[in-house]
């Protein structure tokens, strides 16, 4: 994964970003979010959480009800920033009566980039031999890859990828992860929006969890997992549980298969061990069990994840 | 200019552009010339005055500008409305509006480029129709053994400009409807209802009420027909029934339709959220 540049000016920055549709639906509520140069940022949340609304605001497709957003130092939607970013939002939309080549020609002419890059962009996403076929005959996965090719065409510093593995087969998903890692290694900034937690966990440096239009937490992957659990096997267990519950920084203690699972920061492990020993409890096992992103998400939102780490339907 | 080139590429690749232009060209030949020529060959019923010669007069080369313009003001306008509506509304149907708006150009630049590309197609449509008219009238003149004597180049050029104004006004209205309604079917449907039903009803009622008559003088179709009928000999104009609108006024009204349509489209397009 890439090294995020702490302290560097933000690639995307939002202040109090709010979007209300009509008088009732509050899609985003006071979002303060920062994406730093060179990082792969994962924006996760269930369907309807506000992820796509956020991306549409960043792209200038919709206007905020309140607040502001800057992208690459420009107001969101400004021509200068749009020319420097590649976006794949939902399933990329193309002209079905035109070939992949011609669709990329439209993008090149619209964005002011060199159409000579089209063959290389198609090659990179594995569509070189289908470039002359009409997009109307493309599968969903092929359209997804064509969307990525359109982004490559601009050779941008910032990629906005909304559910980029939609419609891809397992090979395609693996290839997409490789592409995202390559982009990170090249120093590009990637904002990846997804409800597939395993996908985000595999490639992202930092995570923002969005739920009902609110940004619940924004942390590095390590920090997100760090608020993990300690697995402690101690005797007598009742006394150990009593001691642990009394310690500062312990959020919860539960018994699982004879062990105590303590929800706390991993950095508290030594202090808890000392407290147990001082109380006359014999500690036979103490180890950190890092949370998965799914567990972190569930604890923050109170919503279960779907099958295979997918949220929502 | 590169954005206009992109829009022209889309129009070139779309099946609808050559089909709509082809339909107009074919109808100009078949209905505008062949059918009228065949009708003119039918002998009048006993006791009725001969009408064949009057019909053939409209097909002669000296009247071909008027003939073509009348076709453009009727069928050409309807087809241009369809073309304009498809050119704008299909971006919403295919959700490609998001794709093009995230590439860099401002919304007004996108709209201007789309309008410019549409204008190019309108010119092509008018030129093809004039070419078909020239072929049709030449064939009829040949069949009649008459000399092929086209109007002066200046009149033909004026006719092309007027044709572009008439067809352009219809295309602009369709274009604006597409942006306003964001639905190809709805834009085309409402546009054709206006063109084929509402205009006819208002014009039909114009003789019974001064207010309705005043309204009818501002209609798109009425002004297009008035402008088209201002070309050619009086005999031809009388036969087609000239709406009492002065040609300069009609031209100004049509130009006004273009300005208002594009202005409304720009106003809505620049402000409205794109959520498709």
| Cα of A7 to nearest chain B Cα, Å | 28
The domain containing residue A239 runs over which residues? 228-290
| Cα of A144 to nearest chain B Cα, Å | 13
Mean pLDDT of chain A: 87
- Residue B26 pLDDT exceeds 80: yes
Kindly state whether residues A109 and A21 are assigned to the same domain. Answer: yes
So what's the pLDDT on residue B237?
Answer: 47
A112 interfaces chain B, CB cutoff of 8 Å:
yes
- Between B138 and A8, residue with greater pLDDT: B138
Please spell the DSSP secondary structure of B65-96, one letter per residue: HHHHHHHIIIIIHHHHHHHHHHHHHHHHHTTH
Among A225-239, B53-67, B154-168, which stretch is predicted with the lowest mean pLDDT? A225-239
Whole-number percent of chain A with pLDDT over 70: 92
Q: Are A233 and A273 in contact (CB under 8 A)?
A: no
- Residue B262 pLDDT exceeds 50: yes
* Domain count of the fold of chain A: 2
B6 interfaces chain A, CB cutoff of 8 Å:
yes
So what's the pLDDT on residue A311?
Answer: 46
Query: Of the candidates A175, A200, A224, which is a domain's last residue?
Result: A224
On whether residue A312 sits in a domain, the answer given is no
- Between B147 and B8, residue with greater pLDDT: B8
The count of CB pairs under 8 A between chains A and B is 77
| Alpha carbon separation from B270 to A8, A20, B86 (Å, rounded) | 34, 19, 19
In this structure, the strands spanning A206-211 and A66-71 are unpaired
So what's the pLDDT on residue A309?
Answer: 45
Burial string for A151-168 (b: 16+ CB within 10 Å, else e) reads: bbbbebbbbbbbbbbbbb
Cross-chain residue pair B13–A109, CB shorter than 8 Å: no
So what's the pLDDT on residue A143?
Answer: 92
B98 CB neighbours in chain A (<8 A) are: 56, 59, 61, 89, 93
Query: What number is the ipTM of this complex?
Result: 0.88
So what's the pLDDT on residue B252?
Answer: 96
Assign A4 a pLDDT band (cuts: 50, 70, 90): very low
Total-model pTM: 0.84
Kindly state whether residues A115 and A263 are assigned to the same domain. Answer: no
A102 CB neighbours in chain B (<8 A) are: 9, 13
Cross-chain residue pair B105–A110, CB shorter than 8 Å: yes
What is the tens place of the pLDDT at every residue in A98-134? 999 999 999 999 999 999 999 999 999 999 999 999 9
Mean pLDDT across the stretch A265-293?
A: 87
SS3 A28: strand
Does a cis peptide bond (omega within 30 degrees of 0) precede residue B179?
Answer: no
Range with the largest mean pLDDT of A125-139, B37-51, B237-251: A125-139
Kindly state whether residues A84 and A30 are assigned to the same domain. Answer: yes
Assign B97 a pLDDT band (cuts: 50, 70, 90): very high
So what's the pLDDT on residue A227?
Answer: 58
A72 interfaces chain B, CB cutoff of 8 Å:
no
So what's the pLDDT on residue B227?
Answer: 92
So what's the pLDDT on residue A294?
Answer: 78
Burial environment of residue B139 by CB neighbours within 10 A (0 to 12, 13 to 18, 19 or more): middle
Kindly state whether residues A253 and A127 are assigned to the same domain. Answer: no
- Residue B266 pLDDT exceeds 90: yes
Mean pLDDT across the stretch B223-251?
A: 73
Q: Which of B3, B98, B100 sits opposite A89 (nearest CB)?
A: B98
SS3 B105: coil
So what's the pLDDT on residue B20?
Answer: 96
- A195: domain CATH number? 3.40.50.300
Kindly state whether residues A167 and A205 are assigned to the same domain. Answer: yes
Cross-chain residue pair A89–B275, CB shorter than 8 Å: no
A105 CB neighbours in chain B (<8 A) are: 6, 9
On whether residue A301 sits in a domain, the answer given is no
On whether residue A298 sits in a domain, the answer given is no
Kindly state whether residues A235 and A216 are assigned to the same domain. Answer: no
B1 interfaces chain A, CB cutoff of 8 Å:
no
Cross-chain residue pair B101–A98, CB shorter than 8 Å: no
Locate B40 and state its tokens: 């003119």
So what's the pLDDT on residue A242?
Answer: 93
Kindly state whether residues A60 and A166 are assigned to the same domain. Answer: yes
Kindly state whether residues A285 and A151 are assigned to the same domain. Answer: no
So what's the pLDDT on residue A91?
Answer: 81
What is the tens place of the pLDDT at every residue in B173-184? 999 999 999 999
- A256: domain CATH number? 3.30.70.980
Kindly state whether residues A136 and A268 are assigned to the same domain. Answer: no
Chain centroid to CA B133: 15
Dihedral sign for Cα atoms in the order B138, B141, B147, B149: negative
On whether residue A3 sits in a domain, the answer given is no
Among A140-154, B30-44, B92-106, B257-271, which stretch is predicted with the lowest mean pLDDT? B30-44
Please spell the DSSP secondary structure of B251-270, one letter per residue: HHHHHHHHHHHHHHHHHHHH
| Cα of B190 to nearest chain A Cα, Å | 25
Alpha helices in A154-285 (DSSP H): 170-185, 197-203, 221-226, 237-245, 269-278
Q: Which of B6, B13, B103 sits opposite A97 (nearest CB)?
A: B13
Kindly state whether residues A151 and A234 are assigned to the same domain. Answer: no
Cross-chain residue pair B104–A102, CB shorter than 8 Å: no
- Residue B7 pLDDT exceeds 90: yes
Burial environment of residue A285 by CB neighbours within 10 A (0 to 12, 13 to 18, 19 or more): exposed
Whole-number percent of chain B with pLDDT over 90: 71
Cross-chain residue pair B103–A89, CB shorter than 8 Å: no
Q: Own/partner pairs for B201-208, CB < 8 Å, 24+ apart? A: B203/B243
| Alpha carbon separation from B96 to A95, A130, B276 (Å, rounded) | 7, 20, 9
Interface of B with A in 10-69 (CB under 8 A): 10, 13-15
Kindly state whether residues A90 and A108 are assigned to the same domain. Answer: yes
On whether residue A296 sits in a domain, the answer given is no
A60 CB neighbours in chain B (<8 A) are: 101-102
What is the tens place of the pLDDT at every residue in A56-90? 999 999 999 999 999 999 999 999 999 999 999 87
Cross-chain residue pair B104–A111, CB shorter than 8 Å: yes
A92 CB neighbours in chain B (<8 A) are: 99
On whether residue A172 sits in a domain, the answer given is yes
Assign B107 a pLDDT band (cuts: 50, 70, 90): very high
What is the tens place of the pLDDT at every residue in A8-59? 589 999 999 999 998 878 999 999 999 999 999 999 988 888 999 999 999 9
On whether residue A235 sits in a domain, the answer given is yes
So what's the pLDDT on residue B83?
Answer: 97
What is the tens place of the pLDDT at every residue in B200-218? 899 888 888 888 888 989 9
Q: Which one, of A25, A41, A23, lies nearest residue A33 by Cα?
A: A41
């Amino acid at each position: 994964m890439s090294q995020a540049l702490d302290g560097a000016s933000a690639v995307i920055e939002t202040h109090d970003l709010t979007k209300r549709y009509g008088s009732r639906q509050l899609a985003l509520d006071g979002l303060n979010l920062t994406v730093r140069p060179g990082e792969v940022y994962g924006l996760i949340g269930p369907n309807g959480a506000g992820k796509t609304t956020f991306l549409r605001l960043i792209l200038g497709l919709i206007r905020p009800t309140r607040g502001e957003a800057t992208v690459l130092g420009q107001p969101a939607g400004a021509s200068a920033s749009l020319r420097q970013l590649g976006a794949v939002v939902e399933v990329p939309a193309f002209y079905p009566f035109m070939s992949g080549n011609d669709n990329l020609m439209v993008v090149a002419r619209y964005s002011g980039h060199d159409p000579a890059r089209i063959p290389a962009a198609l090659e990179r996403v594995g569509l070189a031999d289908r470039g002359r076929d009409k997009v109307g005959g493309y599968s969903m996965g092929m359209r997804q890859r064509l969307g990525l090719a359109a982004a490559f065409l601009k050779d941008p510093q910032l990629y906005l990828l909304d559910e980029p593995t939609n419609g891809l087969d397992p090979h395609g998903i693996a290839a997409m992860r490789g592409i995202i890692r390559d982009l990170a290694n090249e120093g590009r900034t990637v904002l990846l929006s997804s409800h597939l937690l395993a996908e985000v966990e595999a490639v992202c440096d930092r995570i923002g969890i969005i739920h009902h239009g609110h940004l619940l937490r924004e942390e590095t992957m390590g920090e997100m997992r760090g608020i993990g659990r300690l697995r402690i096997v101690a005797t007598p267990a009742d006394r150990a549980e009593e001691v642990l519950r009394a310690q500062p920084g312990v959020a919860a203690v539960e018994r699982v298969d004879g062990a105590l699972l303590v929800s706390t920061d991993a950095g508290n492990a030594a202090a808890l061990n000392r407290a147990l020993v001082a109380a006359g409890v014999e500690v036979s096992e103490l180890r950190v069990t890092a949370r998965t992103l799914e567990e972190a998400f569930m604890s923050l939102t109170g919503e279960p994840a779907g099958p295979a780490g997918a949220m929502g339907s | 200019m590169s954005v206009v080139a992109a829009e022209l590429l889309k129009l070139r690749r779309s099946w609808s552009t050559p089909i709509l232009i082809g339909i107009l060209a074919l109808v100009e030949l078949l209905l505008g010339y062949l059918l009228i020529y065949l009708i003119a060959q039918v002998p009048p019923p006993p006791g009725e005055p001969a009408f064949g010669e009057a019909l053939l007069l409209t097909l002669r080369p000296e009247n071909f500008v008027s003939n073509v313009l009348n076709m453009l003001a009727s069928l050409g306008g309807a087809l241009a409305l369809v073309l304009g509506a498809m050119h704008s509304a299909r971006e919403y149907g295919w959700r490609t509006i998001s794709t093009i708006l995230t590439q860099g150009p401002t919304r007004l630049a996108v709209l201007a480029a789309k309008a410019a590309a549409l204008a190019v197609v309108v010119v092509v449509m008018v030129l093809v129709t004039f070419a078909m008219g020239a072929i049709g009238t030449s064939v009829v003149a040949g069949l009649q053994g008459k000399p092929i004597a086209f109007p002066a180049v200046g009149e033909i050029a004026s006719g092309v400009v007027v044709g572009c104004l008439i067809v352009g006004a219809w295309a602009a209205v369709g274009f604006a409807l597409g942006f306003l309604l964001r639905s190809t079917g709805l834009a085309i449907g409402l546009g054709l209802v206006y063109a084929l039903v509402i205009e006819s009803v208002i014009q039909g009622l114009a003789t019974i009420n001064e207010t309705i008559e005043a309204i009818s003088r501002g209609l798109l179709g009425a002004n297009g027909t008035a402008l088209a009928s201002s070309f050619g000999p009086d005999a031809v104009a009388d036969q087609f029934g000239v709406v009492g609108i002065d040609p300069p006024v009609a031209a100004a009204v049509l130009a006004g339709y273009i300005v208002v349509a594009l202005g409304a489209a720009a106003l809505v397009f620049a402000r409205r959220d794109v959520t498709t």
